Structures are given as structure tokens and as C-alpha cells.
Structure 1
Amino acid sequence: MRFLKIDKKYFYWFVLAFFISTIVGTQTHELGHIAMAEALGYETTLNYGSMTYNFEGFSEDEDVIAWRKIFENVESFDDFSEIKKEEADQLFKKIEEKFPSNPTDDFYITLGGPIQTILTSFFGLFILAYRNVNKQENFKLTDWLAVFLSLFILREVFNTVMAGGTYLLKGSTFFSGDEFRISTYLGLNQWTIPIMTAILGAIIASFVIFMIVPKKYRITFILAGFVGSIVGFILWFEFLGPWLF
């Protein structure tokens, strides 16, 4: 039963690695959106948990500047006077005429994030296969790096599970995650792509954890994964991310 013991030294290293992976995985996912948006000619901005994109010259447009100025010291559109509401509506219509939305571009940009995440996971798997690590008991740094890259796809599992929990506990039926939006664009049930990517993620993660990670580290690795990912998520989205961005 030696493999059931927790290796304290590796536990702390794994926690740190999962902590870093949570942050890196989040940012690289958003960079996937950004790469696609910039390839389509949009201006982009990276945030700690999201990205935004607009047409070139959007931020410098006089109507956009005027529209944003209206909202500077107001929390809600409902707080406007009727005159201000009319002014905001007119400006918004002018902005829409100048910069019409493009559903096809929106789809490709939405697709960019999940594609980046999945390709990163496949890249990690490729390294593991190339190094033939399933026959190794003593991993090198490159092997561990490949393991963590391959587990980036756990994002797909996490997002779908969280959405499912929200549906069961709160009865929510609208979800704005990338995979849900992709399903909607393709005319599918909104759960189709999230469930497919979650299943793919679960298969890859199970293979890596139970077939690749050496047995003597496995329990330590799994426990550290829960701790490091949760701590990383909370610290990044609640503290570090807002502070840095």
C-alpha cells in the first residue's frame, strides 16, 4: 500500500504546479481568443479572466467615446433620465451602424479559446508519447511539464461540471461559456459541445493520471491537484488577477 502514502515534498511541488497551471491555462485560453480575433483584424484587450475585441478604431471613435462618457458615473441604464436614455439609444444606434456585429467572426473568436486549450493538451500528450514515459518510474522535469500541459483540457470538464451544478442547484438555463455558445451557433442543443469536450477531457485526464503518472506519486498528485487548482482559481480570480489587471 506504499502508493497510497502522501509524499509531502512532492505534494507541495504539485500544489504549486497546479496553482501556476490554473493561471497559465486561463491566460493562454484567452490568448487563443485573442489570436483568432487579431487574425480577423480586431483590436483586443486581455483581462485576467476574459478578453474583449472591437473593430479597429472603435475605441477612438467619437460616438463610442461619447457613449462611454454617459455611463462614467452611472451604475445602470435605468438610472438615466428619459432625455439621457434617448441620447444613449441614439448613440448606440449610430455605433451599431458604424460597427455592425459579425456572427461568423464572433463564432471563430469564441472557437479560438477551446481550440487553444485542446491543442495544448494534445501537445502535452505528444511529448509524453514521444518520450515513451509510460515505461518510466522516475520522471524528469520535461515529463512533468508535458503532464501538466496535457491536463489543460480539464478546463473543459470543470466548466461543464460547474454549469451542470448551476443548473441543478439554481435552475439556470442560460450559460455564456464558449462551448455553450458554439453549440448554439451550430444549431445544436446548448449542452452538446460542452458534454463532448468534457468527455474528451475526462478521457485524457484519466489516461494521463492513471496510466502515465507513476503510481508512487499518483495519490499525492490527485490530492495536490484539487488543492492547487482550487487555491489557484480563488487567488487568481479574487485577488491576484484583479490586482494585476
Structure 2
Amino acid sequence: MIKIRNKADCCGCTACESVCAHDAITMQPDDMGFLYPVVDSSKCVGCGLCEKVCAFNEHYDTSLNLPIPDAYAARHKDMAEVETSRSGAAFIAISDYILEQGGVVYGVGYTDHFRVIHKRATTKEERNEFKGSKYVQSDIRGIFCQVKQDLKNGLTVLFSGTPCQTAGLNSFIGRKLRERLILVDIVCHGVPGPYVWRDYLAYLEKKQGAEICWVNFRDKQEFGWAAHQETFKFVNREK
């Protein structure tokens, strides 16, 4: 049975919840909105799979890692893609290829009122919601099982997320299905809490007296490459 005694030993990736066949684990938010596993002891059979799949243990499988990483620099040829992406739009180029081959793409978008979650895309139009960084921990519940089912169905899957999320998915999927799984992780500086983001939006709307209808965590078109400033549009057309 998995027990999180120190929050630094868990990233909320949901691998333990996803691997539990008895639905004994649910991911519950703390005061900041970060998700942590909670075990229902009445359902737990003590199989140990949740502990085995955890990427934070010393047995995490690194057998597919390169001895020395290969390093490349890339930028999309289409400057319109670069201008609407946070960096060089490499994710767009890679995901375009996957979609053109009939694969599926998982990335981060929004639900409800700009709540940050992972989503599944089978078209470039759906994938475009994933463009641009969202500097909040995404809700990834249910996604790992979706990815696994896609792989079992013979689809190539591209998954983009933080290094903690890709490590958790890598462990959950296992060696047999990894051939069709392409993992793209970002250079992560740490993720703010979902509730901080929720409350900040509420604060801005109260201050402006209008509802937010569009957000951009780093607006390159407005402020260029160097600035790290959020941009918000309100229903009263203020920006």
C-alpha cells in the first residue's frame, strides 16, 4: 500500500491510481490543489503494484535511457507556428508527424473556466489547444489508462508533459508497449498550485469587474521573446 509521508516523494502523476485494479486509490487535492494518492484500505488487497510503478522508488526502470544523451536544437520553419508557441514550436512539428501517421497526441489544455488538464487529440485542430505553456500543474486523472488503451489498439502515441508526468507514464506503460510511445517532456521549473491559479483568475475578474475569456501565459506577439508576462482578455474587451 502506497503511503506518502513526505510530499516531496510524490508528484501526483497518477501512475499508482491508474495501476490499481481494485480502485483502491484516488487522487485527492491538498490545500494548494496538488493531487496526492489516498488509499481506501477496505479495497486494497496488498498487491504492491502501486509501490512498484512509482517513479520515485529506487527500482524505477532506466534501461532504455541512453548512456549519454543526444542533444539537438530545433526551430519550426513556419514562423507563424513559432510566434504562437512558447519556444521553437518543436512540439508542433513532432505532433504534426504523429497525427499524419494516424497516431494520437496528448497534451495540456483547458476545461471549465481555464482549469488546466491533459487532453487527447486526433486532429491538428484539437492539438492546437496544447500550444503554449500552461504554468500550472495539470490534472491528469484518467489519462494514463487512455494512453495504454491506445497503445494496445496499435496506435502510436505522443505524450507531452512535465518530466515527472512522463516518468510516471513510462513506468505505468511497461516495456512491452513502449515501442509506440513517444514521450516529450519540458524543461520544468516547478509547477504552481492549481488553486493559486483558480484564485488568481477570480481576483483579476473581481478587480476588472468582468469575466476572463482568453489567457496567454507568455504572450510573445505582445511582448516578444524575452518577456514572461501573462495576458488576459475580458468579455468587456479589455486586455
User: If the TM-score is normalised by the length of the shorter chain, which range does it land in?
Assistant: under 0.3
Flag the structure with higher strand content: 2
Flag the structure with higher helix content: 1
Q: RCO greater where, 1 or 2, for CA within 8 Å and sep 6 or more?
A: 1
Is the radius of gyration larger for structure 1 or structure 2? 1
